[in-house]
Structure 1
Amino acid sequence: MQAADQGYDPQQPHMDGRKLRIGIVQARFNAGITDALAKACKDELAALGVAADRIVHVQVPGALEVPVALQALAEQEAFDALVALGCIIRGETYHFELVANESGASVSRIALDYQIPIANAIITTENMEQAVARQTDKGRDAARVAVEMANLLEQLK
């Protein structure tokens, strides 16, 4: 059966989060930014109908640790979608590229390996001002992506 036969309309994403369980993994590094990401994400999840008791929110030291926690949550098979939150700001060394590339690739690999949508809101910026400018929108976007993709995958089953 094709997605179109199941009532899926790509122009009208299903944004009802009332039945969903969402896991959030937040890096503590650059906590001012990641706390704002988490608040915006949880506020938007609530606006989409996800009950607070259906959200599990864990914190890890930094962006490189986010995938390990995502994998642990994915292995539980208790979540409809996951959210990765972090902030990587360019410095003067190659470390920025290493952290950004490795965390991003690992998040994608876990999503594919476990067939679970992961909204990747590990933001990468040149400076703190860019991070502050993105923190609220990216947090809200992550919530919307998680809900839409969880509902889409359920429809495609």
Structure 2
Amino acid sequence: MASNETHYSLPRASFDDPVKLLIVVAPYYKDIADQLVAGAIAEVEAAGGFHETIEVPGALEIPSAIGIAGRMAEFDGYVALGCVIRGETTHYETVCNDSSRGLTLLGLQGLCIGNGILTVENYDQAAVRAEAAGQNKGGGAAAAALHLVALTRRWGSARKGVGFKPAREDEIAGGQAG
């Protein structure tokens, strides 16, 4: 059974200067979301960091909120939290795939994101994974974001030509607009 397996976890990231993370949560399943947030906050605070938490309507809005914050606010990293439970339609696949894809694209642009959006078959699976005193997937997502922030600080400022870079608004198909 998967819950009896042991997994290796990296040691907690440490920082000379405090880290500030934005926790973005979709509280559709409020009690699940509250456990995820509790785990994330505990991990951020254990690393000596600070956090701000915002709520969005659903998992599909999480990447948009993180993208907006990445452009308009000053955070070192981001924690994406929510829960998607399979239903009777294909909406489950759309929400799971598109929220994950959005977070991945933001990560490739250089944002430090821990993905704690649970994608499960039923409520019981979500409850087990979310419990802050149990599997603590919220804490795990915060730890992932913190490790990415640590790597970013270790390697310094961004260099040209590394990683995915979205086109500038003034560029069209490799040429200059206008």
TM-score range, shorter chain: 0.7 to 0.9
C-alpha offsets along residues 90-125 of structure 1, whole Å, 9 cap, x if unaligned?
011101001000110011111222x11100000100
User: Structure 2 unaligned runs (5+)?
Assistant: 1-9, 157-178
Counterpart residue number, 2:92 = 96
What are the residue-to-residue correspondences of 1:33-52 with 2, within 5 Å? 33-50=32-49
Deviation of residue 68 (structure 1)? 1.1
User: Structure 1 unaligned runs (5+)?
Assistant: 1-11
Deviation of residue 77 (structure 1)? 5.1
- Larger relative contact order (C-alpha < 8 A, sep ≥ 6)? 1
Deviation of residue 36 (structure 1)? 0.8
More helix by share: 1
Greater Cα shift, 12-21 or 79-88 = 12-21
Counterpart residue number, 2:24 = 25
Report if the CA contact (8 A) 1:41-1:140 is conserved: yes
Q: Letter of the aligned partner of 2:120 in structure 1?
A: T
**Over alpha carbons, which structure has the higher Rg?**
2
Counterpart residue number, 1:138 = 137
Runs of 4+ in 1 over 6 A off after TM superposition: none
TM-score by length of 1: 0.85
Provide the secondary structure at the position in 2 that maps to 1:65. Answer: helix
Rounded Cα–Cα distance in structure 2 between residues aligned with 1:93 and 1:116: 32
Report if the CA contact (8 A) 1:14-1:152 is conserved: no
Counterpart residue number, 1:8 = none
Provide the secondary structure at the position in 2 that maps to 1:132. Answer: helix
TM-score by length of 2: 0.75
Rounded Cα–Cα distance in structure 2 between residues aligned with 1:13 and 1:121: 19
Provide the secondary structure at the position in 1 that maps to 2:48. Answer: coil
- Which among 80, 83, 90 is matched to residue 84 of structure 1? 80
Report if the CA contact (8 A) 2:12-2:47 is conserved: no
RMSD: 1.7
Report if the CA contact (8 A) 1:14-1:151 is conserved: no
Aligned residues: 143
Deviation of residue 24 (structure 1)? 0.8
Q: Percent identity?
A: 36
Rounded Cα–Cα distance in structure 1 between residues aligned with 2:48 and 2:74: 18
Provide the secondary structure at the position in 2 that maps to 1:64. Answer: helix
